[in-house]
Amino acid sequence: MQENFAAASEAVPAETVAVEGSVKPKKARKPINQQKLQDNLWGWVFCIPLIVGTIWFVYIAFIMALLLSFTAYNSIKGDIWETLFHLGDNIHPDGAFYWYKYAFTYEIGGDFKMNEMGAYLFNTVFYMIGIPIGMILAVFFAVCMSRDIKGGNVFRVLYYFPCVASTVSIVYTFKLMFSTTGVMNQLLGLDGFQWLDLTGNTTLTWNQLAGTSTPGAFMNDPFWCQGFFSKLVIIIMSVWKGLGGTIILYIAGLSGVNAATKEAAEIDGANGWQIFWKVTMPDLYPTIFYNIVTAVIGGMQIYMEPVLLVGERSSTSGYVSLIWGYGVNQSKVSQGAAYGMILAIMIFVLTMFQFWLDSRKSD
């Protein structure tokens, strides 16, 4: 056998052995697709403004606000760049975390004392009651509109119309509707009921509403009575205004529901309610999750609607009003920055909690 192997080796030409032992030649580079390169360049050109704007107005602004929150900087007397570049020399004299301690300890109110940040945060959380209400209504209307009915597109346009209407015009309409002589009082048979405190001088308490004189700060503090009715109007207005956009998203989600699965469920004898919960809702879950996450983030930042409707009031204004009030109106930029950092942390924690719940559901 060894002799045969040696003979076979001798029979192989020397040129073949040399070629097999040498390095394989590199593949020729493909020519550059000029059209594709041009498309990529134009894509980056259009993306650069967004990238630069995001870096400057989000990331850099966030870092600046974080650093300023540890100082006593104000926009009247201070130089912001001098403060930031010499941060060690400009830390708040009462400690770097002074404004954070202030946020959790400062109280407002008369007989009924409460933490200022807690009051504004309570208003913000109260407004978020409208999120599940809006979600349920949006799913209901989306299911109705997704059916093959005559004039369905007309209804979609009508329900989406409030989303493109001016917020100022909507607020003005609701002011008229819920005024003491407005249409809501006429429909409900209420004579001169005060839904909104538009003057700031006359505020409704539970004792005044019930005609009693019960002692106690809760019964005599307008925050819990007038504030409740004003916030109720704001919730109604916010749900009505945002309903159309949510409906459109749910209609798009319903178009992706597996028709074969629904047909199989019908053949197996499932009724409409069972098909909705067992087939439609699982396929609609990604849309629901997206709407909830974005609604919570937006709800935590509510500002314009309460201020336009009744003005800056501790009984109705959202948490963002604190950031604006201290950072801009009072020029206490470092204090406003600290309140902004607290809000950012709360939104981050809430968002991560929602993603954690989503991951548990997926598992």
Looking at residue 18, its pLDDT comes to 46
DSSP per-residue letters across 301-345: T--HHHHHHH-S-TTT--THHHHHIIIIIS--HHHHHHHHHHHHH
DSSP per-residue letters across 174-243: HHHHTSTTSHHHHHHT-SS---S--SSS----HHHHHT----SHHHH-HHHHHHHHHHHHHHHHHHHHHH
Structural class in CATH, domain 106-318:
mainly alpha
The structure tokens 């409409």 sit at 272
**Cβ(258)–Cβ(275) below 8 Å:** no
pLDDT in tens, the chain (363 residues): 445 544 444 554 544 444 445 555 666 666 667 788 888 899 999 999 999 999 999 999 999 999 999 999 988 878 888 889 989 889 999 999 999 999 999 998 766 788 999 999 999 999 999 999 999 999 998 888 887 777 777 777 888 888 888 889 999 999 999 998 899 999 999 888 989 987 766 688 899 888 888 888 788 888 889 999 999 999 999 999 999 889 989 988 888 888 888 888 888 888 888 888 888 888 889 899 999 999 999 999 999 999 999 988 888 999 999 999 998 888 899 999 999 999 999 999 999 999 998 888 766
**Cβ(117)–Cβ(338) below 8 Å:** no
Give the list of residues 6+ apart from residue 155 with CB closer than 8 angstroms, or none: 145
In the chain, what is the greatest distance between 2 CA atoms, to the nearest angstrom?
121
Looking at residue 363, its pLDDT comes to 61
**Strand, coil or helix: 69:** coil
